[in-house]
């Protein structure tokens, strides 16, 4: 399934948040959205997920979700959103419980294996590191076999080493079974490591400034790769003025 934004404009009362965004989210690829603070990235994700309707333009879903999909558009948030009283396995089971799946145990075992959590199935969230908690959140998202994963700064609550490890995990997951994701981040190193395409938004009201395609296969994108660093530099060139202006604007308030 693909998502398409057609001339989407959005505002909250008198605040213009997004302006005339046209964008396709291709299937089986990771689309990163970057842009300065407050430019409307999370809003864009909510519009894609159907949580809000744009004031102008349209958000379309094209094609069918994958076979066995229980929730076509599934979010992964920065704060993991796990239930503290449920085990890791119980947190994954939560999203399956209303569906009466005959093979629920198999689905859970599969996603725990894919996220390298099998040995921790009975642990409670408080026993897990931040990185493991986010792997649980990823396992839970994968369990519903979503058409598109909507990821809002999923690694930004983690320290930099854990972020590196999680990026490796995401690359390994995608390489084994490609998934479709929209990945919002303000971290350009994450964007060039994980994005097949990177959409750069201007400051608020967010407009598409540029779309950068990176052809290097995800598994070949080594840490510190000069080609990626060059892309990152290019992205920062686009973002720097916007970020500085956005920062000054926030200080005015």
Ligand X SMILES: Nc1ncnc2c1ncn2[C@@H]1O[C@H](COP(=O)(O)OP(=O)(O)OP(=O)(O)O)[C@@H](O)[C@H]1O
| Interface positions with ligand X (CB under 6 A) | 12, 15, 17, 35, 37-43, 186, 204
- 3-state helix, strand, coil split of the chain in percent (to 5) is 40, 25, 35
Euclidean distance between CA atoms 248 and 28, whole angstroms: 38
Q: Which stretch binds Mg ion (CB under 5 A): 37-45, 100-108, 185-193, 240-248?
A: 37-45
Residues 6+ apart with CB under 8 A from 117: 88, 132, 135, 136, 139
Query: Which of ligand X, Mg ion, none has residue 186 at its interface (CB below 5 to 8 Å by kind)?
Result: ligand X
Backbone torsions φ then ψ of 21, nearest 5 degrees: -90, 120
Closer to Mg ion by Cβ: residue 42 or 87? 42
Would you say 142 and 136 are in contact if contact means Cβ atoms under 8 Å apart? Answer: no
Per-residue tokens: 50:
């159907």
Q: Which stretch binds Mg ion (CB under 5 A): 35-43, 84-92, 94-102, 167-175?
A: 35-43
Closest separation in Å from C-beta 37 to ligand X:
4
Query: Which of Mg ion, ligand X, none has residue 175 at its interface (CB below 5 to 8 Å by kind)?
Result: none
Closer to Mg ion by Cβ: residue 42 or 61? 42
Helix 104-114 crosses helix 130-143 at what angle (to 10 degrees)? 140
The reply to whether 42 sits near Mg ion by the rule CB under 5 A is yes
DSSP 222: -
Closer to ligand X by Cβ: residue 12 or 223? 12
Closer to Mg ion by Cβ: residue 29 or 41? 41
Residue nearest to Mg ion (CB): 42
């Amino acid at each position: 399934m693909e998502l398409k934004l057609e001339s989407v404009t959005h505002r909250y009362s008198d605040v213009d948040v997004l302006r005339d965004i046209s964008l396709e989210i291709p299937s089986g690829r990771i689309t990163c959205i970057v842009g300065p603070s407050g430019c409307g990235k999370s809003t864009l994700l909510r519009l894609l997920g159907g949580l809000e309707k744009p004031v102008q333009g349209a958000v379309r879903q094209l094609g069918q979700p994958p076979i066995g999909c229980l929730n076509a558009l599934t979010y992964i948030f920065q704060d993991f959103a796990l239930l503290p009283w449920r085990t890791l396995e119980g947190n994954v089971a939560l999203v399956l419980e209303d569906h009466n799946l005959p093979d629920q145990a198999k689905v859970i075992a599969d996603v725990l294996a894919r996220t390298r959590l099998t040995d921790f199935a009975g642990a409670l969230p408080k026993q897990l590191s931040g990185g493991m908690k986010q792997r649980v959140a990823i396992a839970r998202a994968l369990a519903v076999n979503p058409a598109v994963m909507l990821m809002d700064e999923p690694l930004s609550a983690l320290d930099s080493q854990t972020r590196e490890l999680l990026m490796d995990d995401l690359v390994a997951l995608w390489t084994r079974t490609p998934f479709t994701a929209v990945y919002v981040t303000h971290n350009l190193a994450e964007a060039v490591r994980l994005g097949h395409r990177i959409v750069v938004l201007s400051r608020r009201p967010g407009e598409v400034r540029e779309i950068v395609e990176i052809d290097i296969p995800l598994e070949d994108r080594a840490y510190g790769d000069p080609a990626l660093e060059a892309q990152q530099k290019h992205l920062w060139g686009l973002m720097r003025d916007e970020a500085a202006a956005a920062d000054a604007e926030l200080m005015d308030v």
